[in-house]
A and B are shown apart, each in its own frame.
Chain A
Amino acid sequence: SQKIEQNSEALNIQEGKTATLTCNYTNYSPAYLQWYRQDPGRGPVFLLLIRENEKEKRKERLKVTFDTTLKQSLFHITASQPADSATYLCAPLGTGFQKLVFGTGTRLLVSP
């Protein structure tokens, strides 16, 4: 069956450091992979999408990589800030408009 796995334990880092979150998937062949941010008691917010033929995508302090051989995406936040503390969710998807299925999510805590 299809599985999307993210680090279930919270990631604690210090302000200014780079946070790296992992998304692994099995029994999927996604054409795209999305990353979302979710704050407590709120709906997710879209951050980035990366295509299967893109190895890396950047947006401000965010960087996403996509390795279809390893079936893995890495999500980096450079120069992290306490305001980056949230849960980050990955969602692989195929071509065409499809329903989103999320990974388990990783909670990031950035301490001052």
Chain B
Amino acid sequence: GAVVSQHPSWVICKSGTSVKIECRSLDFQATTMFWYRQFPKQSLMLMATSNEGSKATYEQGVEKDKFLINHASLTLSTLTVTSAHPEDSSFYICSARDERTSGYSYEQYFGPGTRLTVT
């Protein structure tokens, strides 16, 4: 199946700094990618839909100026957490759909996640 990678797999940063997380579709192109956040023992919460070549669509309650998304190419989306604070510490996961093959199943492929800890 299709593979989605994320980098870094974990990162520790100081409060007030910015952190960039990359999401790549390795063997397929994705016009749309999704970013999720997951707190311990909770389900995934959709943050935003990343659209190649256009602005991201953010879910209600997600600050677009804090979580900057850039989908610069058909295989790369980045999420930048700006001015990070301890409450931003979470597990961030991206996903993408291989529109060539998932057709009927609408299967989405998820990255392995990035653990962000803000001290």
Contact = CB atoms under 8 A, between A and B. Distances in A.
B77 interface: no
What range describes how many residues of A lie at the interface? 20 to 34
Given A34-B106, A49-B107, A93-B106, A43 B113 contact: yes
A41 B91 contact: yes
Majority SS at the chain A contact face = loop
A108 B32 CA distance: 31
B93 to A, nearest CB: 5
Interface in B48-82: 49
Interface of B: 4, 32, 34, 42-44, 46, 49, 91, 93, 95, 97, 99, 104-113, 115
Among B4, B93, B110: residue with most chain A CB under 10 A: B110
B5 to A, nearest CB: 10
Contact of A97 (B32, B93, B110, B113): B32
Interface stretch (A12-20, A60-68, A70-78, A98-106): A98-106
